[in-house]
A and B are shown apart, each in its own frame.
Chain A
Amino acid sequence: TQLLEQSPQFLSIQEGENLTVYCNSSSVFSSLQWYRQEPGEGPVLLVTVVTGGEVKKLKRLTFQFGDARKDSSLHITAAQPGDTGLYLCAGYASGSARQLTFGSGTQLTVLP
């Protein structure tokens, strides 16, 4: 059983569409991070959210941390082919501050 459940697992959309990826858990996390990974490379950190209810924007990407610090979402506006990749949420569960737990990932494909 994954501590962090991501949905959807796969997403294929047309350029210009909007999308949302969800990351849910029954556990409380002291922080949640979102990464993007491209083939043959390691994950690259996009953002870290720390405070419950926090919203962070990175150009066309909007990240939200749930009030109870158990869930997070990533929203992409007007997706572009360059957004294609594996999106991973990860967090430090309360009591496991040194062990980063990853979600199962969302493979996003943006078609031109």
Chain B
Amino acid sequence: KAGVTQTPRYLIKTRGQQVTLSCSPISGHRSVSWYQQTPGQGLQFLFEYFSETQRNKGNFPGRFSGRQFSNSRSEMNVSTLELGDSALYLCASSLQGAVGTDTQYFGPGTRLTVL
């Protein structure tokens, strides 16, 4: 079974631009979560989508948005990029099993550098 895939793997943008990252979950998984990982803040939850609906949102500004398609693939968008948005963006998918014990499977991440 193929794992979670993320594209692109690396991205370089300049301040003020916007960016779209893509995530394809494991086949059969309906939940997709996005995380931002930086050396200073560690791994922080951005949002979670299930059946095309945002079900949970972390504490990030509105410049960070996402969506999920009917095939469970997900995209996240960051508008008006800032230097501090440079990070590894991780996507994770899960089956949505028992509440509180769901196993999330992570993709390799997209490394975004903002110049």
Contacts and interface: CB of A to CB of B under 8 A. Distances in A.
Nearest to B96: A98
Interface string B58-87: 100000000000000000000000000000
Interface string A69-81: 0000000000000
A45 B104 contact: yes
B108 A40 contact: yes
Contacts of B42: 2, 88, 102-105
Main secondary structure of the interface of B (DSSP, over half): strand
Interface size class of B (residues with CB under 8 A): 20 to 34
A82 interface: no
A48 B108 CA distance: 21
Given A42-B90, A42-B108, A42-B109, A99 B58 contact: yes
Interface string A36-61: 00001111110010100000000000
Interface residues of A, number: 26
The 3 closest A-B pairs by CB, nearest first: A42-B106, A30-B100, A102-B43
Interface of A: 2, 30-31, 33, 35, 40-45, 48, 50, 88, 90, 92, 94, 97-105
Interface of B: 4, 33, 35, 42-45, 48, 55-56, 58, 90, 92, 99-109
